[in-house]
Amino acid sequence: MHLNEYFKTQPYGQKAELARRLGITKQWMSEILSGRQAPTAMMAIEIERATGVSRKLLRPDVFGDVE
């Protein structure tokens, strides 16, 4: 599951809540969701912990291709 798909199943405000948890702005979260920016490796791990979305999907260049 991709991050955008995850948020489709979540209540309103979850994107902002995750951004707050990660210590980033809502704008940066929007950039990550659109694919214009990639999360840092540590941020990808935190996103995976919070959402269940694989870090490999978020950063295949760091964690390897999805199997």
CA quadruple 24, 28, 32, 34: dihedral, nearest 10: 150
- CA distances, 56 to each of 16, 36, 48 (Å): 23, 17, 9
In this prediction the pTM is 0.88
pLDDT for the residue numbered 7: 94
Alpha carbon 8 to its chain centroid, in Å, reads 13
pLDDT at 38: 95
Q: Going residue by residue through the chain, which has 67 residues, state the pLDDT in tens, using 9 for 90 and above.
A: 899 999 999 999 999 999 999 999 999 999 999 999 999 999 999 999 999 999 999 999 999 876 5
